[in-house]
Chain A
Amino acid sequence: MKTPLFGAFGPPKPNQHTLGAMQHVDVRMRRYRTDEEVDYCIVGVGAAGGVLIQRLARAGFKVVGLEAGPFWDTERDWVSDEAGSHKLYWTEPRVIGGRDPLALGANNSGRGVGGGSVHWAAFTPRFHPSDFRVHSEDGVGVDWPMSYDELKPYYELLELEMPVAGPAYFPWGHPHGYAYGPHPMGGVGDILIKGCTKLGIRVSAGGPVAILSGSHGDRPHCIYRGFCIQGCKVGAKQSTLISHVPDAIKNGAEIRDNCMVARVNLGKNGRVTGVTYFDPDGRECEQRSKAVIVCGYAIETPRLLLNSACPGFEKGLANSSGTLGHYLMAQAGNVILGRFDELVRMYKAPPAHALTEEFYETDSRRDFARGFAIQTVGPLPISFAKQMMVAKGAWGWGMRKVMMDYNHWAALGLLGEILPWHDNRVELSEEKDKHGIPVAKVTFNLHDNDKKLIEYGKNKVMEVMWAAGAEDVVQEPRYAHLVGASRMGSDPSKSVVDKFGRTHDISNLFVCDGSILPTQGSANPGLTIQALAARTADYLISQGDDVFTSSSRSMERPPVRKNLSPPGTWGKGVPRLT
């Protein structure tokens, strides 16, 4: 066939704001007047903000979400192309430094409704119970102010709402199973399985990933095209844009896109009164609200709070502890590349489709604390060429030659836990963005434990690659994900927020995103971020108007509300183990 039946595929139907191949929002979004005080103002409608706004709207609150990037029209704005997807990433200026500067942008920062969940690879392992007790068990990092058991119901809930596809039995951490079945393997997954099997390492095939392995309401099954991190036009990969935002709009939430929040405003009574933001035309506006939730992720959240410094909070809003911006974490994300005699064609299938967490926990036989995971990755040509530049030093004819072998290479990713350190931080730079707001300066240094872990982990992944039959193995050091910098804890002098995301300093200011994570394990943080958002929502709903009026701080665990899930969550998939 030279063309599809009836000729080339045409443009999408006019006047349809599509959210994936079949989904479109057919209700008008509610609009609040700018002088109207709403209940909640959410800054950043990304992974956490998307879940939060959906739940608060469903519970009947007046809620406005302000998003710095656009409200994506997946059919028209997104392309099935690596270079053309640049706009999905946070490309506003930021400055990086330290001994081991963290690359940002495409690497870890999203922009637009859905945020990073639009371009994540969608691996969704849970954190292990030990991640919540790192200091007690291993004497490093810090303990969480909550246990795994407190988050578990939300893991289970979000795994159904996304939904997550994976094996019926996932043996690591707290063993559990997934309602949606595993995905088929691509070439890279086969190589991970071959290598691991040969070395006697258990491996999880086909998940856990937040990519549909069966249709889910209007969202079709994955088509295995390998463009996950360019935004899933299919609608098979979960982003909050697809899974939660439509329901938020149907329940009366307003999302204002292309609105960059400049500062959170503090009233005379020590409570926040709303935010000041730049609208799409660059005009400065104010949105008043009874409470503010900052969901800007690990760099923009501390940047906003630091930029909101005011009398009484000279070091930054809610920063009486001085820890705001500190304890920023990334995970070691070395990419190990192996060349095989036979063809692999790693551009097919989602980059994320198999992993092992066999080395996740601390092992006393190793000379470092904590551990790492090994995951499939599937770089497309531009990313792969850049990896070859670093891993082989290739340029010129050497680059052309190694690129002609693109289809012979496979890539595995190390995902190693880097511990929270005080000197890894987000500060304000002298430089300003187009609105005149000081940009973030991110400083990052690896410490002894991190270096040992990376060295060991990298060698282990290389061992797996060799065992799978590679004839040449090289690696590119890099980092993946960002969390921390606005950490949660029970001690107000050592953390920014409490275990429900409420800032210790201001009772109607909350932070809900990856920045509140005290430690990060070696699991991809996406699921945990969304689960924490659902939990914070339950807390806020159970507190009712107290959040707006009282400065008392209940620490009571809220009931798990299953009736707030988007419609179509229940009654799908197979019954789960545990």
Chain B
Amino acid sequence: MIKPDILGTFARSHVIRGGGEIAEHVREGRFQRSLALIAGLSSILSGLEASYEHYRGSYSRRVMYTPLIASAALLGAGVWAFKSRKAARTVLPVVSVLSLADGVIGFYFHVRGIQRKPGGWRLPIVNMIMGPPVFAPLLFGISAYLGIVAYYLRREDDPEEQTMPRPAHAHSWAKYLPGKIEHENISWRQDLREGRFQKHMAAATVVWSFFSGFEAWYSHYKNNFRYKMQWTPVVIAPMLMAAGVGAIKSRKVAHTWLPAVSALAIADGSLGFYYHARGVLRRPGGAKLALYNIIYGPPVFAPLLFAACGFVGLLASLLRRESR
């Protein structure tokens, strides 16, 4: 979720230390503060998107308010975690996990909502397009996912030499897991702490670019691909997925194709944001019916969610690979 200026904030906060140092921090998994902030700020996008999409559905069920609450909570948790190490290790993971769970619950309701439309899943295309967007709740899980990752990271100002894992805290939830899993658990947590989760992040890129690309495909299909540009996310998303899969298998791809395609996705998402905003203004009534046109025009923030997939890919390319 890289609204360009958020990236800017991210960059500016480190500008004194220089670009090389950012990369170093990322490599070493010492970017908890930044990632917490990004998770928080990006959840605003999800929240705004959900707020007007759910207004289209009239908030006819109370559960439709939960993503708004979750995104506001995640914003609060992200900002708090940016300021406080303690919050990053307590509030942030709890809120993130709840948000992710809300996304999964939302996914269930959306699948069910499509089933309840006339014709149900026997008319999959029509009812996905005219019913609740099936993958949107999972897409909104990106911020929550970033929040969870941030929880495991070290803070930017942590000493460099502290790379050895600490044993799991006695009060950690991991202690409830059976021994084997606990071990595994500690092992990947250690990798995360050390910034060794490139493959993991590449996999996340694959999953989210699928969701986002799929949403872009049917939304643009709904509009009969009136503009050639509407094909770009549909083309780039599989490229990004391919680069992600490649990056899981090959270090080389992770350092060449993945950042290149990710950058393309970010650029495309930003451009899409511009086109969508312009599309809203060009609708009948334009700015005079701003609220209505935001609701029923092209979804303004959706391209930024696509760009967010690119951001996750870019982040993946900067990380170190898992030790296993």
Contact = CB atoms under 8 A, between A and B. Distances in A.
Chain A in direct contact with chain B (Cβ < 8 angstroms): yes
Interface of A: 1, 4-6, 9, 21-22, 165, 167-168, 179-182, 184-185, 189-191, 193-194, 197, 203, 205-206, 212-216, 220-221, 223-224, 234, 571-574
A571 B117 CA distance: 22
Nearest to B296: A184
10 contacts: A1-B125, A5-B121, A6-B122, A184-B56, A212-B58, A213-B57, A214-B56, A214-B58, A223-B117, A224-B130
Interface in B44-61: 55-61
B277 interface: no
A205 B285 contact: yes
A189 B60 CA distance: 24
B62 interface: yes
Interface stretch (B97-105, B174-182, B228-236, B287-295): B287-295
B291 A572 contact: no
A197 B285 contact: yes
The 3 closest A-B CB pairs, nearest first, are A214-B58, A214-B60, A193-B284
A194 B62 CA distance: 35
A572 B117 contact: no
B59 A574 contact: yes
B122 A215 contact: no
Nearest to B286: A197
Contacts of B59: 181, 214, 572-574
Nearest to A7: B122
Contacts of B20: none
Contacts of A573: 58-60
B3 to A, nearest CB: 26
B299 to A, nearest CB: 13
Most A CB contacts (10 A, CB to CB) among B117, B121, B292 go to: B292
B249 interface: no
B116 A22 contact: yes
Given A197-B284, A214-B61, A215-B57, 13 more contacts: A4-B119, A4-B123, A5-B124, A6-B122, A181-B59, A189-B284, A203-B289, A205-B285, A206-B296, A213-B58, A214-B60, A221-B57, A572-B61
Contact of A220 (B55, B117, B121, B283): B117
B131 A221 contact: yes
A220 B285 CA distance: 29
Contact of A179 (B58, B285, B288): B58
Contacts of B56: 181, 184, 213-214
A8 to B, nearest CB: 10
Contacts of B286: 197
A203 B286 CA distance: 12
B58 A193 contact: no
A201 to B, nearest CB: 10
B292 A206 contact: yes
A12 to B, nearest CB: 12
B118 interface: yes
B130 A215 contact: no
Nearest to A225: B118
A185 B124 CA distance: 23
Contacts of A6: 122
Given A5-B121, A206-B292, A185 B57 contact: no
A4 B284 contact: no
Nearest to B65: A574
B247 to A, nearest CB: 35
Given A179-B58, A220-B116, A197 B288 contact: yes
A205 B117 contact: no
Nearest to B62: A571
A193 B121 CA distance: 34
Given A205-B285, A215-B60, A181 B118 contact: no
A193 B117 contact: no
B116 A193 contact: no
B238 interface: no
Contact of B57 (A1, A167, A189, A214): A214
Contacts of B76: none
A22 B289 CA distance: 35
Interface in B249-294: 283-286, 288-289, 291-292
